[in-house]
Structure 1
Amino acid sequence: MADGTWGARAYRRSMDTDIATSFAVLLPLLAGLALIDSLSFGTLAIPVWLMMAPGKLRATKVMIYLATIGGFYFVVGVMLLFAARFASLQFEIDWNHPVIMLGGFVVGAGLLILSFVIEPPKSLQKDTTSKKASGMYTRLAAWRQSAVEDNVSALDARISQTNTKQRTKSGTVTLMSIAVTAGVLEVATMLPYLAAIGLLTASAPALGLGFVQSSGLLAAYCVIMLVPSLTLFLGRTVLRNAVSPLLERIDEWFAKNGQSTIAWVIGAVGVVLMLNTWSAVENVLFG
């Protein structure tokens, strides 16, 4: 079936569903998912740790980290977007079909339930949860130390300029490795990003979005995802004394509630999916 014919059919059906049929609907949804994504370990916790490193703020190191993890997200997103678009055209998938919409609602409900399984109510939690979070925090804090430490001792001050350059290069590589590692570890939980890619794929025919335009929206998504960290970075640079207490509170919160963040993100994506496919459920329940 031709792409244009499939797009027209999808558009007509989308008039009776909640799939985004205008940029006024699509863009706020993408921005909201990006801001949810901005609250993860890789996009917020580690940048905050880098900003809190002892001594002078290493602005270059923070920017290298943010650029690396943002680039990692974008590359992964483009590959997934290409795969989803190819599958849609190859198998003529109509993402606005009521059955698919109902499936999306069921997945959303499942994610919401899963969020309570991952993070049970406080009264049912065991003490081991905070210990596990602390253990993860300790390991990541050690990574931060290895990436940002550039204070030299009296002995280090006597090393050659060549070795100094090698050490700087090694620190940069380590920092970029941390960003990629954080991204890889979060691939399984980057549900807001996966939801955004699915939304772009489903809405592309109705909005006439080509692969290039969709990739551009993904790039914008990645930028918005980094806005909270960039805002904190700007505040840390300009108003150090005023922002430092906030960074400390964020740091402490992630140390104690890292698992809660994952559960909250999963639950939020579940709610977004349920709201975005609710009209299909209405059609089934109320005709």
Structure 2
Amino acid sequence: MDLLTLAGLAGLALIDSTSIGTLVIPIWMLLSPKVRASRFLVYLATVAVFYAIVGVILVLGAEAATAAFAGLSGARWVAWVQLALGVGLFAWSFRFDGKKGDRSGRWRDRLAGEDATIPAMVGLGLGAAALEVATMLPYLAAVGLITAADLPVAGWLATLGGYVLVMIVPALLLGGLRLLAGHRAQVPLERLGAWLARHTAGALGWVLGIAGFLLARDAAFRLGLFDRWIR
């Protein structure tokens, strides 16, 4: 795998690191007066393992799909399905308005500070990651890059592991800062958490809108829908 691809994967992992599950909820956990490091790490480990398992399934599924449906790329009905998907994603993107808040509010009351149990943190991690499965577009792009690299099993497993590790590094760094700075980190964390809560939904809308537009445009050109205007 070349350096450009690795840089792209690192960039996608950093985008994934700013999601609700990988950064917003960890910040709220760190805002607890008596945050427990073990519970914090259990939560992050749960999210990372969940993403890794989904990634393995996607890579294996992509390889199987490529082998089974290699001849479908030129079929017109596939292009129509792609066009419908692109238009649907583009339309869906307008539901994510950063000015109206985001999905993260529903998790506030589920964080239980120092009284949180390990099963509760595992459940919270699984719930937060599962909630984002349908919109993990950077992760899907990363899996596509890993699949296209045609690596041996050990290679793509290591790459996938490195991706999910990079994805939780910002939260780990904030955890270390909270541990070292104590209550002095309270105000900066509150400001960062508020900023993320305001902008996460809007950023997700832009990602969905751009992805939908690109899918629809590619399908439209393959179907020749713009031929009359190009001529």
Q: TM-score band (shorter)? A: 0.7 to 0.9
Correspondence list, 1:54-203, <5 A: 55-92=33-70, 113=90, 117-119=94-96, 129-130=100-101, 133=102, 136-145=103-112, 148-150=113-115, 171-203=117-149
- Distance in 2, matches of 1:107 and 1:199, equals 24
Q: How many residues align?
A: 215
- Distance in 2, matches of 1:181 and 1:29, equals 28
Higher gyration radius (CA): 1
Do residues 226 (structure 1) and 182 (structure 2) align? no
**TM-score normalised over the length of structure 1:** 0.63
- Distance in 2, matches of 1:199 and 1:45, equals 27
**Does the CA contact (< 8 Å) of 2:26 and 2:40 recur in 1?**
yes
- Distance in 2, matches of 1:108 and 1:43, equals 27
Query: How much has 1:27 moved relative to structure 2?
Result: 0.2
**TM-score normalised over the length of structure 2:** 0.77
**Does the CA contact (< 8 Å) of 2:21 and 2:129 recur in 1?**
yes
**Does the CA contact (< 8 Å) of 2:36 and 2:114 recur in 1?**
no
Which contiguous aligned blocks of 4+ residues in structure 1 show a shift greater than 3 angstroms? 90-95, 105-116, 254-258, 264-271
Partner of 2:228: none
Residue identity matched to 1:86: A
- Distance in 1, matches of 2:3 and 2:84, equals 25
1:250 to 192, 200, 207: 192
Correspondence list, 1:17-32, <5 A: 22-32=1-11
- Distance in 2, matches of 1:72 and 1:258, equals 21
Name which of structure 1's ranges 110-119 and 27-36 shifts more when overlaid on structure 2: 110-119
**Does the CA contact (< 8 Å) of 1:37 and 1:192 recur in 2?**
yes
State the percentage of identical aligned residues.
34
Query: How much has 1:94 moved relative to structure 2?
Result: 10
**Does the CA contact (< 8 Å) of 2:50 and 2:126 recur in 1?**
yes
Query: How much has 1:243 moved relative to structure 2?
Result: 3.0
Using a 3 Å threshold, how does the CA distance of structure 1 residues 37 and 232 change in structure 2: closer, same or farther?
Answer: same
Query: How much has 1:259 moved relative to structure 2?
Result: 2.0
Query: How much has 1:174 moved relative to structure 2?
Result: 1.1
Partner of 1:212: 154
The SS at the match of 1:71 is helix
Using a 3 Å threshold, how does the CA distance of structure 1 residues 93 and 239 change in structure 2: closer, same or farther?
Answer: farther
Query: How much has 1:41 moved relative to structure 2?
Result: 0.5
Do residues 38 (structure 1) and 17 (structure 2) align? yes
Unpaired runs of 5+ residues, structure 1, are 1-21, 151-167, 282-287
Query: How much has 1:91 moved relative to structure 2?
Result: 3.8
1:239 to 181, 206, 226: 181
The SS at the match of 1:56 is coil
- Distance in 1, matches of 2:168 and 2:91, equals 26
Residue identity matched to 1:197: V
- Distance in 2, matches of 1:111 and 1:23, equals 34
**Does the CA contact (< 8 Å) of 1:34 and 1:224 recur in 2?**
yes
Partner of 1:52: 31
Do residues 266 (structure 1) and 212 (structure 2) align? no
Using a 3 Å threshold, how does the CA distance of structure 1 residues 266 and 186 change in structure 2: closer, same or farther?
Answer: same
Query: How much has 1:60 moved relative to structure 2?
Result: 0.5
